[in-house]
Amino acid sequence: MPLASLLALFVFNAILVCAAVYDVRHYRIPNLAPALLAVAGLVLAAPDSLGEALSRTGSLALVGLIAGALWVRGLLGGGDLKLLAGCAVGG
């Protein structure tokens, strides 16, 4: 695995841990956390073709729909939805 991918993987996991700790302490997740997750995820798994990019877009939409439905029913928090979407970008 290239060094950039290892670094992105470390950053991806560090962001998740920091977001979880912040959420436990303050009951909220900063908007920066999912944005950074999306960037790290794209570095980790950059799509190689248009088909792969479309597939990931579909996956992100599906995760968003399911998480959004759970959020509407009160079974999932908005921060959780943001983190799931940030993670889904990386595929």
Give the dihedral of Cα atoms 32, 18, 69, 87; nearest 10 deg: 70
- What 3-state class would DSSP assign to 46? coil
Comparing C-alpha atoms, which of 88, 3, 83, 5 is closest to residue 44?
5
Tokens read off for 24:
């436990």
pLDDT digits (tens, 9 = 90+) for 39-48: 887 777 777 8
The model carries a pTM of 0.76
> Is the C-alpha dihedral spanning 23, 82, 62, 48 positive or negative?
negative
Count of alpha carbons within 13 angstroms of residue 56, beta-carbon side: 19
Confidence of residue 71 (pLDDT cuts 50, 70, 90): very high
